[in-house]
Amino acid sequence: MTRAGAEFESEGGERRRRPGRDLCGIGGLPVDAVCDLLGRARALEDAPHRPEVLRGRTVVCFFGEPSTRTRTSFELAARRLGADVIFFGNDGTTSAAKGESALDAARNLDAMGIDVFVARDRQTGWPQVLCHHLGARVVNAGDGVGEHPTQALADALTILEAFGRSPADGARALAGLRVAICGDIIHGRVAHSNLHLLPRLGAEVVVAGPEGLVDGAELPEGVTLAPSFDDAVVGAHVVMMLRIQRERLARGRDLPDDAAYHARWGLDARRVGLADPHAIVMHPGPMNRGVEIADAVADGPRSRILRQVTHGVAVRMAVLARACDRQGALPEAKR
């Protein structure tokens, strides 16, 4: 394999990777590793500035798609751990404008000695491609219609907090809780990670969505497809709404207009009333207000949407420390 940055190759030409662990998909994390990350994230929320943990390390946010929450929270997380942070985006200022491929750009940055690539891209499977080619560790920040594992971890932390549960309870941490995930399941990478994570923590997970945007045959074992949105929400402890990923829909795909979609698939006060009396409402963002969620619900007392964002920073700190093999330098997991 021809690579710039021969410092990542042993004398025999075999590629060496930096110490640490990649995070491409949530399935790569055993339950005990998930719970350790969540417990350490909880502890970090009490004392979020730990500049000794990643001092001397460099994190690049390598983003080929727009982002508000994920990019900012990864940058904050890396800085709070003392890392140097570089943003590299397809924004017209890079040599992508001269025809350089994203993979060549990544290899060139890698040759400069990056420790962690935090990667977002429209290409499903992009993090795995980077793992194959780079010496740096790779953390998936959302790949096409694949996964968004750190969002799922932030969501799990939000649910644990809301219901007074402990990550120390592992596979039973969310036992007895019914989670309804509603909207565009097929294109929803947040949904894909949550569908693989929440049942492993003991939650009952049910999905609902418009025809063509959810496929009952593709659901992981133990996840059920509700016959209607109302059926999914009845008795739910968590109602997680997803936007339609219009940028990923096949061209010419017919969808109802926003008002019609809201009437059929939008979370409004009536539907919240079908859920458990202590139910919480979640949405990974960005929200399309008045489409999949009503203003009064997004901003109402059940909403934990901004808590998801807050937890995203601590979770990403724990994930970056793990990526650099520095998890042991974080505070002990908090119950």
Examine residue 284 and tell whether it contacts ligand CP (CB under 6 A). yes
Shortest reach from residue 20's CB to ligand CP, in Å: 23
Q: Which residue, 68 or 228, is less far from ligand CP as judged by CB?
A: 68
Which listed residue (3, 15, 21, 69) binds ligand CP by CB under 6 A? 69
Residue 51, class by beta-carbon neighbours within 10 Å (0-12 exposed, 13-18 middle, 19+ buried)? Answer: exposed
- Output b/e per residue, 254-274; b: 16+ Cβ within 10 A: eeeeeeebbeebbbeeebbeb
In order of 73, 93, 257, 280, 298, the CA distances from 78 in angstroms are: 8, 23, 41, 30, 29
Tell me, what amino acid is at 151? Q
Which listed residue (58, 70, 194, 303) binds ligand CP by CB under 6 A? 70
Q: Which residue, 226 or 314, is less far from ligand CP as judged by CB?
A: 314
Q: Decide: 24 and 138 in contact? Cβ < 8 Å.
A: yes
Q: How far is residue 203's CA from residue 206's CA, in Å, rounded to a whole number?
A: 10
Q: How far is residue 37's CA from residue 43's CA, in Å, rounded to a whole number?
A: 10
Which listed residue (142, 167, 199, 209) binds ligand CP by CB under 6 A? 142
Examine residue 246 and tell whether it contacts ligand CP (CB under 6 A). no
Which listed residue (9, 15, 48, 67) binds ligand CP by CB under 6 A? 67
Shortest reach from residue 142's CB to ligand CP, in Å: 6
Q: Which residue, 70 or 158, is less far from ligand CP as judged by CB?
A: 70
Shortest reach from residue 242's CB to ligand CP, in Å: 10
Contacts with 280 (C-beta within 8 Å, 6 or more apart), sequence order: 158, 159, 162, 237, 238, 239, 302, 303, 304
Examine residue 220 and tell whether it contacts ligand CP (CB under 6 A). no
Tell me, what amino acid is at 92? G
Which listed residue (4, 49, 68, 269) binds ligand CP by CB under 6 A? 68
Shortest reach from residue 120's CB to ligand CP, in Å: 7
Q: Which residues of this chain interact with ligand CP, rule CB under 6 A?
A: 67-70, 142, 148, 151, 284-286
